[in-house]
Amino acid sequence: MTEDALLHTAASAPATGPPLHSVPAFPGTGMLLSLLRDGRPRTRSELAGITGLARSTVTQRVDSLLASGLIGPAGEAASTGGRPPTTFAFVPSARVVLAADLGATYARLALTDLAGELLTDTRADVDIAQGPRTVLDWVAENGRALLERAGRTTDDLLGVGIGLPGPVEHSTGRAVNPPIMPGWNGFDVPGYLQERFAGPVLVDNDVNIMALGEHFARWREASHLMFVKVATGIGCGIISEGRVYRGAKGAAGDMGHIQVPHDDEAPCRCGNSGCLEAVASGSAIAEALVGQGFEVRGALDVVDLARSGSVPALRALRQAGRDIGEVLAASVNMLNPSLIVIGGSLALAGDHLLAGVREVIYQRSLPLATEDLRIVSSQVGERAGIIGAAVMVIEHGLSPQRVEALVSGD
Ligand SMILES: [Zn+2]
C-alpha cells in the first residue's frame, strides 16, 4: 500500500474504528515528533530521558524522522565534556497544507506550513450555491496557483482541509441536508478533490474549524472551550480535551435551533418556532429593526448601525446576547468549559452582545461551573476558519499513528 493510499484510507475511516496500526512498525516515532512539535531543539539523551525509550531506540527513531524531513539538526547543545551533542528540532516547512474556508458567498484559501503559519493566501467572492463542482474546481485551480506561488508541488501536501457553511458528516466529508447549499447534499467532497491533490482531504463545518483555529492560535492552554459564531445564523464549536467534539453524527454544537425559554413565537427556517437563531441571529435582529423603521438588510448592516451608536440596535444586540446566554447557560452546566469565545460578524459590533451573554451565564449557571469561566470576544477574527482547516489536517497527519505509518513507508 502506498503512503498516500494509506492516508486516504485513514481519512475516510470512522474515528471510532479499529486503529490502522495496532502494532506500529516504529513504536515511539510519533511520540518523539509530538514532543518536538513545540519547536524546542533536544538531544538524543534528552529525548530518551523524557520518553523512557532506550537510547538505541531513540537513535533509530530520530534517524527515520530525519529521513522523512519532519525533523532536522538544530545545532549543538552545550558540552558536558567531549564532543557536544547534536540537537534536533521539528521542521514546519517539511510539508504544506492547503486550507479552504468556504462561506455562503465568499471563499478563503491558504497554504500553511506544519505549524499552521500562513505562507500565502487568496480570497474571492464565490457563491456556495453554484454547487460543489464549480466551487471545488475553484479550490483546485487556486490551490495549484498557491502551491506554485510558494514554490511547492502537490507532492509536498500533507493534506487538504475544507470548511463548509452547513452540517457535515466529518467521517465521510459529506454535507448533510445543508440549507443554503443546493447540490451539496451527500456530495463526496474528499473523493472529488483526491483526484486532484495528494494526501487526505478532511471536511468539517465552518464553526468547528473556527473553534479549532481560535483554540490553536490563541487559547491552547484552554482544553475545554466553546466557540459561538453569531452571524446570519448561530452555531457553536466545542473543544474538549483540546479536540473538536463532534458527537455521533457531527451535529454537536448546533445550538441555533435550541428553543429560547421565554420566546415560543418566532417562526424558524427549520420548521420549529422560538429557536435561538429565529430571535438572536443577525438576520433576526435585522428583521426586528426593519419592523422599527430602520433600513437594514443583514448582519453587517446591524453592526454598522450599532457602531453609529443607534440605541435600538445596541438594545437589540444586548437582548440577543441574553438570549444566547440563556441557551449557553444550560450548556455550561452540561459541559463545564473554561472558556467561551464569542465570534462571527455580530461580535464585531462592540461589547453589547458579549455583555448580554455574560450577564445571563453568570446568573444562571452553577457556581462551580462558572468559578473560573472566562467569556471573551474572538481574538483571531476572520482568519480563524482558515487556520482551523489547516490545523484539522495537521493534527490528523502528524498524529503518532499517522507519523509511524508515514516513516515506516507501509
Ligand atoms: Zn430552528
> pLDDT value at position 25?
53
User: In this structure, are residues 250 and 363 in contact, taking their beta carbons and an 8 Å threshold?
Assistant: no
| Burial status of residue 293 (CB atoms within 10 A of its CB: 0-12, 13-18, 19 or more) | exposed
Average pLDDT for residues 146-171, to the nearest whole number?
Answer: 95
> What whole-number distance in Å separates Cα of residue 321 and Cα of residue 81?
63
Residue 261 has pLDDT above 60, yes or no: yes
Residue 382 has pLDDT above 50, yes or no: yes
Query: pLDDT-based confidence at 26, cuts 50/70/90?
Result: low
> What whole-number distance in Å separates Cα of residue 316 and Cα of residue 334?
28
One-letter amino acid of 381: G
> pLDDT value at position 80?
75
Average pLDDT for residues 165-171, to the nearest whole number?
Answer: 92
CA of 400 to the centre of ligand 1 (A): 40
Sign of CA dihedral 30, 35, 40, 46: negative
> What whole-number distance in Å separates Cα of residue 176 and Cα of residue 290?
32
State whether residue 171 is helix, strand or coil: coil
CA of 370 to the centre of ligand 1 (A): 28
CA of 243 to the centre of ligand 1 (A): 27
Report pLDDT digits (tens) over 222-250.
999 999 999 988 999 999 999 999 998 88
> pLDDT value at position 216?
96
Strand partners, 163: 101, 204
> What whole-number distance in Å separates Cα of residue 226 and Cα of residue 115?
23
Residue 1 has pLDDT above 70, yes or no: no
Residue 14 has pLDDT above 60, yes or no: no
What strands, in cross-sheet order, belong to the sheet with 243-244?
Answer: 243-244, 234-240, 225-230, 339-343, 374-377
One-letter amino acid of 103: G
Q: What letter would DSSP give residue 382? A: G
The mean predicted confidence, pLDDT, of the chain is 90
Average pLDDT for residues 384-401, to the nearest whole number?
Answer: 95
Torsion of CA 76, 82, 83, 88, to 10 degrees: -40
Query: pLDDT-based confidence at 18, cuts 50/70/90?
Result: very low
Residues in the chain: 410
What are 67's three cell numbers?
529521513
CA of 366 to the centre of ligand 1 (A): 27
> pLDDT value at position 404?
85
CA of 293 to the centre of ligand 1 (A): 26
CA of 233 to the centre of ligand 1 (A): 10
Query: pLDDT-based confidence at 22, cuts 50/70/90?
Result: very low
Residue 156 has pLDDT above 90, yes or no: yes
> pLDDT value at position 278?
93
More confident of the two residues 402 and 211: 211
CA of 256 to the centre of ligand 1 (A): 6
> pLDDT value at position 264?
66
Sign of CA dihedral 28, 33, 35, 36: positive
> What whole-number distance in Å separates Cα of residue 241 and Cα of residue 252?
15
Q: Range with the lowest mean pLDDT among 9-23, 31-45, 91-105, 280-294?
A: 9-23
**Phi, psi of 23, rounded to the nearest 5 degrees:** -120, 90
| Burial status of residue 130 (CB atoms within 10 A of its CB: 0-12, 13-18, 19 or more) | middle
CA of 104 to the centre of ligand 1 (A): 18
How many other CB atoms sit within 10 Å of the CB of residue 125? Answer: 8
CA of 178 to the centre of ligand 1 (A): 13
Q: Range with the lowest mean pLDDT among 59-68, 80-89, 208-217?
A: 80-89
Q: Range with the lowest mean pLDDT among 19-23, 27-31, 125-129, 405-409?
A: 19-23
Query: pLDDT-based confidence at 20, cuts 50/70/90?
Result: very low
User: In this structure, are residues 302 and 313 in contact, taking their beta carbons and an 8 Å threshold?
Assistant: yes
CA of 254 to the centre of ligand 1 (A): 10
CA of 163 to the centre of ligand 1 (A): 22
CA of 276 to the centre of ligand 1 (A): 7
Strand pairing report for 234-240 and 71-76: unpaired
Beta strands in 28-146 (DSSP E): 42-43, 71-76, 86-90, 96-102, 107-112, 118-124
> What whole-number distance in Å separates Cα of residue 55 and Cα of residue 45?
7
CA of 96 to the centre of ligand 1 (A): 39
> pLDDT value at position 241?
93
Torsion of CA 251, 357, 295, 232, to 10 degrees: -10
Helix (H), strand (E) at residue 175: strand 174-175
Report pLDDT digits (tens) over 319-367.
999 999 999 999 999 999 999 999 999 998 889 999 999 999 999 888 8
Report pLDDT digits (tens) over 287-311.
999 999 999 998 999 999 999 999 9
User: In this structure, are residues 279 and 260 in contact, taking their beta carbons and an 8 Å threshold?
Assistant: yes
Over pLDDT 70: what percentage of the chain?
93
CA of 240 to the centre of ligand 1 (A): 25
**Phi, psi of 142, rounded to the nearest 5 degrees:** -75, -30
CA of 271 to the centre of ligand 1 (A): 6
Which of 82, 85, 80 is CA-nearest to residue 59?
A: 85
Beta strands in 218-308 (DSSP E): 225-230, 234-240, 243-244
Query: pLDDT-based confidence at 11, cuts 50/70/90?
Result: very low
> pLDDT value at position 270?
84
Q: Range with the lowest mean pLDDT among 149-153, 203-207, 297-301?
A: 297-301
CA of 301 to the centre of ligand 1 (A): 23
> pLDDT value at position 16?
41
> pLDDT value at position 263?
62
